[in-house]
Chain A
Amino acid sequence: MNCKDFMTYMEDFVDGDVEKDIKERCEDHIKMCKGCMERMMDFKKCMEFFKCCMPDEKPPEGIKNWMSRFMAQCCGGDTVEKKEVI
């Protein structure tokens, strides 16, 4: 595998979404190629940073309050239209 091939597979390789054969060839390549190893580490770092910047927010209480009204008012029928929930 050369560097161009590795870059084609890099994201799938990092995602664990490649066939065993490709996985092994990618692993062999980065053992020998410092440049591709660094590109892969940069990619992983970027994705890790992205994930850590997307923390879960607490849903507003309004949704739970709406759900209480929804259950009280609308769940008697089969199909509910949004306008029915006040």
Chain B
Amino acid sequence: MEDKKESFLSLFKEYESKIYNFIYRMTQNEADAEELTQEVFIRVWNGLDGLRSGSSVTPWIYRIASNACFDSFRKNKRTLKEEILEPDDEFLYDAKIPLIEDEIYKSKMAECIRSYIAKLPEDYRAVILLHDIEGFKNSDIADMLGISLDAVKIRLHRARGRLREVLSRECRVLYDRSGEIYCEPKKKGGERYEL
């Protein structure tokens, strides 16, 4: 039992932040992310004995986290796209030239992108987050989500396509002089603010 506790605490230390952030990006809700992170670690504890030695822990934990998110979505019978509001118009159409050093601006930018991600269907959202943010290979994602490799590729392609579509409609993505990337909102009606 002591070995199990030690392994478990070590996993918690390593994955707490990763799993919380993955779930937060999936749910876009801090309270849900906190509750589901706890749920994930309960499942990790309960499944630890069955984890074969030598098998990879990371995909296993992310599989548990993905399942916990999908279970929660099903249980609540809601989707984020029904709940998340439109991106903050005040931010999107603010005529101020962005200061890339400005943490508030960056935070607003992240909020804006999150609202786009939240509008993706849950299965697309899971794939794009697992691939492009968490850095998993398509084959790992297929295994985690219990879907075919082709299905992963299709969902990833569609999720990226939707994201690109909304970005190209709403923003201009630019680099500042230091090479840092940022966006500049397009004005309603298609007219752009110039730098």
**B49 interfacial by beta-carbon distance below 8 Å:** yes
Does the CB pair B41–A70 fall under 8 Å?
yes
User: What separation, in Å, do the CA atoms of A15 and B135 have in the docked complex?
Assistant: 10
Contacts of B181 in A (CB 8 A): 45, 48-49, 52
Does the CB pair B45–A80 fall under 8 Å?
yes
Size bin of chain B's contact surface: 35 or more
Residue of A46, A57, A81 near B173 (CB, 8 A) is A46
Does the CB pair B20–A67 fall under 8 Å?
no
User: What separation, in Å, do the CA atoms of A48 and B42 have in the docked complex?
Assistant: 34
Does the CB pair B37–A71 fall under 8 Å?
no
User: What separation, in Å, do the CA atoms of A50 and B115 have in the docked complex?
Assistant: 12
- A60, closest chain B residue (CB): B34
**A33 interfacial by beta-carbon distance below 8 Å:** no
Interface residues contributed by chain A, number (CB under 8 Å): 38
Contacts of A82 in B (CB 8 A): 38-39, 42
Contact with B along A48-83 (1 / 0, CB 8 A): 111111111111101110110011001110111110
Q: Which residues of chain B from 111 to 165 have a CB within 8 Å of any chain A CB?
A: 112-114, 131-133, 137-138, 153, 156-157, 160, 163-164
Contacts of A85 in B (CB 8 A): 38, 42
Residue of B1, B4, B30, B164 near A60 (CB, 8 A) is B30
| 11 further A-B pairs in the complex, CB-CB below 8 A; given A49-B167, A85-B38 | A11-B157, A11-B160, A45-B181, A51-B132, A55-B110, A56-B17, A59-B16, A59-B20, A67-B41, A75-B1, A75-B5
A residues bordering B, Cβ < 8 Å? 11-12, 15, 17, 42-43, 45-60, 62-64, 66-67, 70-71, 74-76, 78-82, 85
